[in-house]
C-alpha cells in the first residue's frame, strides 16, 4: 500500500511540474521573481549606433516646424493613467483630485470602445464624460491624451483598422480638441503642448502608436514575434517628432504613448516588437538630448518604473508605466524586466509626476498611487543641465 501511495505522490508532483512548465512556456517570460531586476534598474541599452536611419539629421529640410500649442499655467504636478472601463467602478478619481494635478494625461484605453461604429464609440465616451469624478477633474485640470487599442476601436489594432477615421473624430471630440487644432488637419492624433515659461517650461509630446502601426505576427503560443523591419509611428510622425525634439527649449520633456517602450522581455504588445522603431526613438533622444526627458506609457494592467542609460545624455531615461484604473490582472505573475526600478505594482493605480522647481538641481519625483491616495512605489531623479 505504501508503495502505491509513494508512486501516486511522485506522479502528482511530476504532473504539477510539467503543468507549471507549460504555463511558463506560454507566458513568454522566464518565471522568476520581480527581484530578478538588479537594484536600481542599472541596465545599459543595447547598441543603437548600428541603426541606419532613412534620413540624416544634418539635413535641415527633413524637420517639420515645431507645432506645439501653449497652455496657460505652470506645471508642478502631472497625473496620468490608462485602462479605464466606463462601466466599472472608478475609485481613483477621488485620489486623483486630491493630488490637484495641473494637467491630466490619458495614456490609452480611456474607454473600451472596441467597435468601428461611431454610435457605439460615442456612447461609451459620453458615459465616461458623465462620471462625476471625471467632471470635477476637467474643471480643475487641463485634460490631454492619446489612445491605445481599445479607444482606437479594435483590440491590438493596427494601421489596417478601417474604423480609424471615425475613431479619431470621436476621440478628439472626447478630449474637446478644437476644430482648428493642427492634429485635425493630418492623419493620426499625435500632438504636442507646452506649459509654463522660461526655466519652468514643460513640453508634453503625445505620440500615436496605432494609426501607423504595422501588423506583426504571433507564434502558435500567441506570442508576438519582433519584426526587424516593422514601424510603429510612420515616417510623417517621425519627421514631426524630430522637429518637436530639435526645436525644444523646455526644462522637462514628457514623451507619452500607450505602448511600453523600454521593457522588451514580455510576450505582449511593446515597442520591442518593433526593434528598429525602438532603436530609432532612443537614437533620437540621444541626438537631441531633450532636457529632463521622461517616457510615460500605459496598457500593461500594472505599473512600474524602468530606467535605461543612453550614452551622451545627462541623466538616465526613465519610463513610468501606469495602467489599471478600473481593473488589473486577476492573477498577476512575476515578469522579467531587467530595466525595472523598484517593484511591479499590480493594484489599481494612476501616475503622478511632481516637479520641485525650487531645488537645485530641479528634482523630479514619480509616484505610483492607488486607492486611498496611497503611494505604492516611487522614485526620483535630478534634472542635470
CATH code at 304? 3.60.21.70
Mean of pLDDT over the chain = 87
pLDDT score for 99 = 97
pLDDT average, residue stretch 152-171: 97
364 & 326 share domain: yes
Largest CA distance in the chain: 85
pLDDT average, residue stretch 270-286: 95
9 & 138 share domain: no
Alpha helices in the chain (DSSP H): 2-27, 93-99, 118-129, 132-140, 149-152, 164-174, 235-246, 275-288
Q: How confident is the model at residue 23 (pLDDT cuts 50, 70, 90)?
A: very low
Q: How confident is the model at residue 96 (pLDDT cuts 50, 70, 90)?
A: very high
CB 303 within 8 A of CB 328: no
> Which residues are within 8 A (CB) of 97 and not within 5 positions of it... i.e. 6 or more apart?
133, 136, 137, 140
Q: What is the DSSP string of 113-129?
A: ---S-HHHHHHHHHHHH
Range of the domain at 24: 1-31
25 & 43 share domain: no
5 & 42 share domain: no
Report d(CA 260, CA 74) in Å as an integer. Answer: 28
**What's the structural domain count of the chain?**
2
- Residue 240 pLDDT exceeds 90: yes
pLDDT score for 332 = 87
pLDDT average, residue stretch 219-236: 94
Q: Which residue has the higher pLDDT, 74 or 30?
A: 74
Q: How confident is the model at residue 330 (pLDDT cuts 50, 70, 90)?
A: confident
Report d(CA 137, CA 98) in Å as an integer. Answer: 10
pLDDT average, residue stretch 53-71: 66
100 & 247 share domain: yes
Percent of the chain with pLDDT over 90: 76
pLDDT score for 55 = 60
229 & 318 share domain: yes
> Which residues are within 8 A (CB) of 261 and not within 5 positions of it... i.e. 6 or more apart?
270, 271, 278, 281, 295, 297, 319
103 & 181 share domain: yes
pLDDT score for 13 = 46
- Residue 189 pLDDT exceeds 50: yes
5 & 111 share domain: no
60 & 92 share domain: yes
94 & 193 share domain: yes
Count of Cβ atoms closer than 10 Å to residue 100 Cβ: 11
128 & 225 share domain: yes
152 & 19 share domain: no
CB 219 within 8 A of CB 261: no
Amino acid at each position: 500500500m505504501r508503495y502505491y501511495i509513494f508512486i501516486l505522490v511522485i506522479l502528482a508532483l511530476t504532473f504539477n511540474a510539467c503543468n507549471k512548465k507549460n504555463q511558463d512556456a506560454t507566458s513568454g517570460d522566464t518565471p522568476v521573481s520581480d527581484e530578478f531586476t538588479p537594484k536600481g534598474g542599472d541596465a545599459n541599452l543595447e547598441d543603437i549606433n548600428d541603426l541606419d536611419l532613412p534620413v540624416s539629421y544634418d539635413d535641415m529640410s527633413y524637420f517639420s516646424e515645431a507645432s506645439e500649442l501653449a497652455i496657460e499655467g505652470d506645471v508642478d504636478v502631472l497625473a496620468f493613467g490608462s485602462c479605464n472601463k466606463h462601466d466599472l467602478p472608478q475609485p481613483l478619481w477621488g485620489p486623483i483630485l486630491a493630488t490637484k494635478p495641473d494637467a491630466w494625461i490619458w495614456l490609452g484605453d480611456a474607454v473600451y470602445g472596441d467597435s468601428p461604429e461611431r454610435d457605439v464609440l460615442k456612447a461609451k465616451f459620453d458615459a465616461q464624460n458623465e462620471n462625476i469624478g471625471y467632471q470635477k477633474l476637467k474643471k480643475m485640470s487641463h485634460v490631454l491624451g492619446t489612445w491605445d487599442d481599445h479607444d482606437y476601436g479594435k483590440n491590438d489594432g493596427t494601421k489596417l483598422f478601417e474604423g480609424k477615421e471615425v475613431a479619431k473624430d470621436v476621440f478628439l471630440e472626447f478630449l474637446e480638441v478644437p476644430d482648428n487644432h493642427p492634429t485635425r488637419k493630418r492623419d493620426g492624433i499625435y500632438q504636442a503642448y507646452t506649459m509654463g515659461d522660461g526655466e519652468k517650461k514643460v513640453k508634453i509630446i503625445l505620440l500615436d502608436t496605432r494609426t501607423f502601426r504595422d501588423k506583426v505576427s504571433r507564434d502558435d503560443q500567441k506570442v508576438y514575434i519582433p519584426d526587424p523591419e516593422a514601424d510603429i509611428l510612420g515616417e510623417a510622425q517621425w519627421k514631426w517628432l524630430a522637429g518637436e525634439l530639435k526645436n525644444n527649449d523646455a526644462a522637462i520633456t514628457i514623451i507619452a504613448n500607450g505602448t511600453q517602450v523600454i521593457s522588451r522581455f514580455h510576450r505582449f504588445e511593446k515597442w520591442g516588437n518593433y526593434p528598429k522603431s525602438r532603436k530609432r526613438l532612443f537614437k533620437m533622444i540621444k541626438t537631441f538630448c531633450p532636457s529632463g526627458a521622461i517616457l510615460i506609457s500605459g496598457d500593461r494592467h500594472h505599473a512600474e518604473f524602468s530606467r535605461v542609460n543612453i550614452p551622451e545624455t545627462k541623466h538616465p531615461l526613465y519610463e513610468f508605466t501606469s495602467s489599471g484604473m478600473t481593473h488589473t490582472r486577476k492573477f498577476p505573475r512575476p515578469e522579467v524586466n531587467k530595466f525595472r526600478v523598484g517593484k511591479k505594482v499590480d493594484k489599481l493605480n494612476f501616475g503622478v509626476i511632481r516637479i520641485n522647481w525650487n531645488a537645485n538641481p530641479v528634482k523630479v519625483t514619480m509616484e505610483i498611487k492607488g486607492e486611498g491616495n496611497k503611494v505604492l512605489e516611487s522614485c526620483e531623479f535630478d534634472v542635470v543641465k
